[in-house]
Structure 1
């Protein structure tokens, strides 16, 4: 029985079961006749190729928010990606039932394998040591095309990862990249912008794709949405992945922070209330940034920053707790009771696992059901997916509070600062050694590079692929005493 995802009327995909686009163009970047397993769709094959890649496995050794060696409760990039994939599949299923049929016909469905592929792949390009590792590589690469996590993800899937492809005649051909469908590559193309080849030293990280992948991006657009022109290019699967990532970040990173004791519900509430000089500055900054996001989605802006306090109060249901004695009483008594109730309230979410799980599970379900579809009738595959206005405000508020109060806290900044220096010193040492510090297969890539720009990109690819532990160990072998010469790099 033919899958609805591959029905000839399916405008979201425009491909048939024989792995060819209906206009006859090839489905994959490498125009090779690969062995085709019966019953396996092209997107299921791409999903498998991602799942079995070294870059995907390395996500288990990359920090999401808190270093994994501190406690086995904390999420890594791998477990975060798995959660994003589950949420993304939930969004796609919701849209397939509630939204897609009425807009595009009963035979049209969003492919769950493709959506989950996008979610599992979305963090592949993140380097060791999080945001500061990304900044370090971008600073080192500004004269050679820059560095950015999303751009690196596309490069890993299309260039860095190697694969042997089995042909119908029994021979095997080595391929750069995983030889994925154009549609799968499009699902991780978050920013339709080429990063400038050279930027000044003070420039911020530029989000987009590298100039080295310019021709590939052109091919992706031509295969996925022919005749689309110069309008913004972003597929529906990429929109879903983006929303799922925001939901996971604003929910599960919050859970990790509650567990770690970095934040409490009352601390979040106090941080966003109007009182206090620093709090007011934080609140006003977040208020401005959230209004910017609302404007992007063409929603009505917030008219007052005080509304943000209500969002936190409703999330944690502050109104369920009494904070004053029933029969009045002295100011001292009221204050003492307020402190006791606040401590009792915080303990629900910091020391009671079931309460944290109840909060996150209920929140994720509500957010999935709040997703909206903005159909693109001319190019259905580029239809937008977004959260409704109320939920978008909640997600953006928690994302920003988590970033400013947790990621930017002095305790995490110390770790990330050290990581930034590790990345810079490793990179510069490899360049100074003319590539001799690279493992053999990477050294071959380095020696084949034609100019300094390409050589620097090879080193960047290698360092970006390191786990946190590998980078720390590599740095120790370069700059600490007692390192063994017998252990391979």
Structure 2
């Protein structure tokens, strides 16, 4: 089948009519599938709106044209839906997971995550996937009957496991959690609502994960060029982008650098999508899963780049790490951002009355670990802007982060 054609619904797709349901039973919608309702609930959530002022790489006020967590999530969803359409799986579930994948990120991107992880070191640490689960099961307060969004089992599974299993069949932490253990918030939740941490997630969740990789690799190149951290000619160090740049210049000899960069990003996204579709179809043909349950029983992810694209993607990541994420300007700003988060955390621990009343109300009713976690929840929910305003309210000097 051509990559440009939509595939018919596949046997291995998650079927909304066969969903494992919600933790809290609700009447079905007359007009929307369970997965469409999940997607709508994510879009209407407070946590989703806050993503518009949360850092992707650049702090929100550095420029109106840089990605935020919100625009990144929308771009991931667009790529994920394109992949889902080609592979014949449920587009609504795929979109839900693409839009929800960053709900647990704190202000200031990975700098904020590192800072909160250090602040909560003695209380289970901080993990943005665990925080996303916490957001959709506890912290959103929009419904009279329950906390959270009461998403379907399939959506919760995908939020937690889109990057692969968290444990083996015997419950021992695996993969990225092998050394530090499964985050306490995930472990405590699955004790009462089993998300089968030992298995792979649905094909829809795997698609959302690879769409995230495609989006941030391509769009971080775009943002890095716009920020002047590197120039087009620097990308000739990567064989894939060097070839694309040469072909674009051959087709458009007088093209300016801005349009050349935009064309490069488009071609890169198309190349990576096609590589995922072809490799995933190859793996599906080899394993022949007859249901979504069969997908979960596999020993590897079925959604993946082919070998050439895997090597190209690794080269892009390496380039961006050196030229963007570790750039002196970015490192300086992110170092200041970590200080803001750590100082806010320490201040709220020392002076709980500085918290808003609804967040300070737990004082005297919970243990030290729960108190620290609640402070972590408050900070994790902040936008970059609100964190800076709070810091300026509580401290004599706040870094400008420019």
Shift of residue 206, structure 1, vs aligned partner: 7.4
Q: After superposition, what is the alpha-carbon deviation per residue over 1:424-483, rounded to whole angstroms, capped at 9, x for unaligned?
A: 0101111111x3222222223x337531111111100110111111101100100128xx
Asked if residue 316 in structure 1 is aligned to residue 245 in structure 2, the reply is yes
Provide the residue aligned with 1:290 in structure 2: none
> Within 5 A, what are the aligned runs for 1:443-462?
443-444=360-361, 446-447=362-363, 450-462=366-378
Answer whether contact 1:138 1:146 (CA < 8 A) is retained.
Answer: yes
The DSSP-based 3-state class of the residue aligned with 2:22 is: coil
Asked if residue 471 in structure 1 is aligned to residue 359 in structure 2, the reply is no
For residue 430 of structure 1, the aligned residue among 332, 344, 348 is 348
Q: Which entry has the higher C-alpha Rg, 1 or 2? A: 1
Provide the residue aligned with 2:28 in structure 1: 36
Distance of 1:182 and 1:448 partners within structure 2 = 35
The DSSP-based 3-state class of the residue aligned with 1:242 is: helix
Distance 1:370 1:11, change over 3 A: closer
Provide the residue aligned with 1:13 in structure 2: 14
Asked if residue 420 in structure 1 is aligned to residue 349 in structure 2, the reply is no
Shift of residue 208, structure 1, vs aligned partner: 7.5
Answer whether contact 1:138 1:205 (CA < 8 A) is retained.
Answer: no
Asked if residue 245 in structure 1 is aligned to residue 212 in structure 2, the reply is yes
Q: After superposition, what is the alpha-carbon deviation per residue over 1:232-270, rounded to whole angstroms, capped at 9, x for unaligned?
A: 43332221111111111111110111122111132244x
Distance of 1:391 and 1:255 partners within structure 2 = 19
For residue 80 of structure 1, the aligned residue among 72, 76, 93 is 72
Asked if residue 213 in structure 1 is aligned to residue 213 in structure 2, the reply is no
Distance of 1:60 and 1:240 partners within structure 2 = 23
Distance 1:412 1:459, change over 3 A: same
Distance of 1:268 and 1:38 partners within structure 2 = 51
Provide the residue aligned with 1:387 in structure 2: 305
Distance of 2:181 and 2:94 partners within structure 1 = 20
For residue 264 of structure 1, the aligned residue among 231, 234, 240 is 231
Q: After superposition, what is the alpha-carbon deviation per residue over 1:6-46, rounded to whole angstroms, capped at 9, x for unaligned?
A: x9x955436527xx64xxxxx1122x3x2433121111111
Distance 1:381 1:318, change over 3 A: closer
Asked if residue 130 in structure 1 is aligned to residue 109 in structure 2, the reply is yes
For residue 233 of structure 1, the aligned residue among 178, 193, 200 is 200
Unaligned runs of 5+ residues in structure 1 are: 22-26, 97-109, 165-171, 195-203, 273-308, 322-343, 482-489
Q: After superposition, what is the alpha-carbon deviation per residue over 1:128-183, rounded to whole angstroms, capped at 9, x for unaligned?
A: 1122211111111111001022221122111221231xxxxxxx42x221111010
Distance of 2:11 and 2:262 partners within structure 1 = 38
Answer whether contact 1:135 1:205 (CA < 8 A) is retained.
Answer: no
* TM-score, with length taken from structure 2: 0.82
Distance of 2:267 and 2:192 partners within structure 1 = 41
The DSSP-based 3-state class of the residue aligned with 1:38 is: coil
The DSSP-based 3-state class of the residue aligned with 2:273 is: helix
> Per chain length, whose mean CA-contact separation is higher, i.e. which structure has more relative contact order (CA < 8 Å, sep 6+)?
2
> Within 5 A, what are the aligned runs for 1:51-200?
51-96=43-88, 110-164=89-143, 172-173=144-145, 175-189=146-160, 190=163, 192-193=165-166
Unaligned runs of 5+ residues in structure 2 are: 1-6, 168-176, 398-402
The DSSP-based 3-state class of the residue aligned with 1:425 is: helix
Distance of 2:61 and 2:248 partners within structure 1 = 38
Q: After superposition, what is the alpha-carbon deviation per residue over 1:196-236, rounded to whole angstroms, capped at 9, x for unaligned?
A: xxxxxxxx9978852233143356655xx6xxxx8543332
* TM-score, with length taken from structure 1: 0.68
Distance of 1:381 and 1:443 partners within structure 2 = 45
Distance of 1:380 and 1:39 partners within structure 2 = 29
Q: How many residues were matched structurally?
A: 367
Distance 1:116 1:66, change over 3 A: same
Distance 1:147 1:205, change over 3 A: farther
Answer whether contact 2:35 2:92 (CA < 8 A) is retained.
Answer: yes
The DSSP-based 3-state class of the residue aligned with 1:317 is: helix
CA RMSD in angstroms, aligned pairs only: 3.1
